Structure 1
């Protein structure tokens, strides 16, 4: 079998006639061509097809990669930037220092509506490469897998389709960081994050069932099983034990890279080793989203969203816009601004990611009817 070709090598895919013509352009025009490529995959394909453009790319790699990331990610650019930044700051299971967290929150909030070039202003080339790699190898493939899992819970006959409003997978990496500044998001955006978290948590629930015997305290593989204490590497995975709840949450909060690895692992022994290596305990995320925590926030330090709800403000559906509420959220709360999320929202709605669906697909599928039924069962809520 031949060795895999490298970009710009003599073994790379032969350039197309169009690419050959473009290669004759002056260097500055070739730079403009590269800067206007709208997708990372297209950029990669050109690098393999044309040694000339590969060398041009190497001369101005940071600028070109910045422009292609802006075109590829669109409104998700600031979230991808936050993912990259949080990955450099966060080393689980140790928590972030409070001052570092505050600075991170302020920076993220200030950039949410900034021009794309400003978002990437302080990024190094290595940062941009990491963002591109995360998008291609983790975020985009996972968005398709998550969409398929959501569809299974709503209507399996829709297989092959995906919710058109799917836009937020990258925000859950890591969720533990984001959980501490949910005030930066609209309530339907928090619910988007929680739908993805719930999907990941439920997957890990199934994984814990699969490896329960392998990591049980009485498994013969633990040579110190006669001790009164729990052997290192073993856990109590009995149904809804404290260990199980905290491990399920903590492992989900390890982020999307680990989740992607777990989904791709089909060998049982390899799965056991992966979980032993990466699983950690946590109680942060679900506590922050709990009704008790939300009630305390309203009573002690109400947010702008809490005040809008208290004033009885209306919330209209203005189409599938970048920052506006999705149709499912608006009809679920009867057009009223409602600043609640998390466990308040019925689990069956979370199971198919109701807030990710654009208007057309929600209406054409069974989704709108499901939202209306859930609302009516609650007597006015979602």
Structure 2
């Protein structure tokens, strides 16, 4: 049975490629006969066995199977909620909490209640959240993952590995053959979902502007500092995508472009944007980035023509003044100082006490090797602008120890950290908490 399932799963993965290969090599009929025999064996299995097969597939394989087989499709419809929930667990595991959080926040609700729920779920990840999902919710979560999360995460991983290869030592010649591990993909996926939460929390339809920073800080307070870095790294990836787009469409949107000559000045013509102003450009970048994963997917994959890109961006570009990036933004030094003064935490005390935090192994809920390297195997609650942007460019916080060894990433990390800080520890900028000042 296991061999049969493994064989079918493998064929699902390569089916769209194998047809072309088979046609070119003249073995279409033999391959087709073999596939028909396997299909017959699978579709003749008892219903309870077919149910089990469907329940252990990840979402991509599940989708492929139910579209390829009428028998399995019918079985899927009979027990859709159970199968979708099991497939979500097989695909994203404990990150189902993040996926469900995105779904819950997509509808208007009390954000204080949401944060209470989210904090509690993040503290008890071993308890399956799929028990709380209806069939409709599970279907919505699965669809969003397949349409938006998975392809954007894979593109992000590819670009960051390319940046790592460009910046690391040339002696590591196997960089181009590296495929992200399951743990690495899970870290990236967690960052993507939390990026979506950030976008939802900053939606002008959800909250008054004055409370946005408070809500974002509450979100960050739930995370470990290296998880905040994951989020910020993914956010900067999105900024980089739109920054390139802004450069590509600069003249198309320039107020001096002759196509706007029929409009009087001032004000700036409709459809034009002053991207020469750093202030305006930064605010437009932020506002466009926080449109979320669906629009990011559209820009990355669905727009092929330049004019289509221009018209789409003219409709979707907007300014935001939260701010998120920059020295006074949510990830900047000023906000972290204010937070430590107004909301001192046990994590701050752990940092002040230099509590040991050594790398054990690559697991989703443990700090990555890069984090323990830069902080000397002790706890740090710093993130954001205390970390060089050059390190986030290649996704330092996502990669396993094995990837660092194969690519020269560890040496690159140490060099970039040394170039930024020398022998200085930026944790020294913050006042040490007096012993006993925090409640246990």
Match of 2:147 in 1: 137
CA contact under 8 A between 1:218 and 1:225: conserved in structure 2?
A: no
Q: Which residue in 2 is equivalent to 1:6?
A: none
Q: Which residue of 2 aligns with 1:225?
A: 263
| Cα pair distance change 1:220/1:38, threshold 3 Å | same
Partners of 2:348 and 2:126 in 1: how far apart? Answer: 30
CA drift at 1:147 = 1.5
* Alpha-carbon separation, structure 1, partners of 2:425 and 2:96: 33
CA distance in 2, matches of 1:159, 1:131: 32
Aligned pairs for 1:327-346 within 5 A = 327-346=369-388
1:305 — aligned with what? 347
Provide the rounded CA distance (Å) in 2 between the counterparts of 1:267 and 1:160: 31
Could you tell me the TM-score, scaled by structure 1's length? 0.86
| Preserved CA contact (<8 Å) 1:151 1:162 | no
The aligned length equals 359
Does the alignment pair 1:173 with 2:196? yes
Cα distance in 2, alignment partners of residues 172 and 281 from structure 1: 18
1:200 deviates by 1.3
> Partner residue of 1:348?
390
Q: Offset of 1:327 from its aligned partner?
A: 0.3
The Cα shift of 1:21 comes to 3.3
| Match of residue 256 from structure 1 | 293
Shift of 1:16: 4.3
Provide the aligned C-alpha RMSD in A. 2.4
Q: Is the 8 A contact 1:289 1:341 kept in 2?
A: yes
How many Å apart are 1:374 and its aligned residue?
Answer: 2.6
Matched, 1:111 2:106: no
Change beyond 3 A, Cα 1:19–1:189:
same
CA distance in 1, matches of 2:407, 2:125: 36
Segments of 5+ residues of structure 2 without an aligned counterpart are 1-31, 167-172, 202-214, 427-440
5+ long unaligned stretches in structure 1: 1-12, 90-98
Contact 1:77 1:116 in 2 (8 A): no
Report how far residue 114 of structure 1 moved.
Answer: 3.7
Alignment CA distance shift 1:106-1:19 (3 Å): farther
Equivalent position of 2:437 in the other structure: none
Q: 1:34 to 1:376 in 2, by over 3 A?
A: same
Deviations 1:301-340 (A, max 9, x none): 1122212112221211111012110000100111121111
Counterpart check, 1:315 vs 2:325: no
Q: What is the SS of the residue equivalent to 1:159?
A: helix
Cα distance in structure 2, aligned partners of 1:380 and 1:126? 53
Task: Measure how far apart 1:134 and its partner are.
Answer: 2.0
Structure 1 residue 126, shift from structure 2 partner: 2.7
Indicate the residue corresponding to 1:46 in structure 2.
65
Given that 1:174 and 1:254 are in contact with CA atoms closer than 8 Å, whether structure 2 keeps it comes out as no
Distance in 1 between the 2:162 and 2:53 partners?
Answer: 41
Whether the 8 Å contact between 2:94 and 2:125 is mirrored in structure 1 is: no
Per-residue Cα deviation, 1:267-316 (whole angstroms, up to 9, x for no partner): 11111111122222223322211110001111121122212112221211
**TM norm structure 2:** 0.75
Verify the 8 A CA contact 2:94 2:128 in the aligned structure 1.
no
| Per-residue CA distance 1:25-52 (angstroms, 9 max, x = gap) | 44344333322x2311221232133322
Q: Is the 8 A contact 2:357 2:378 kept in 1?
A: yes
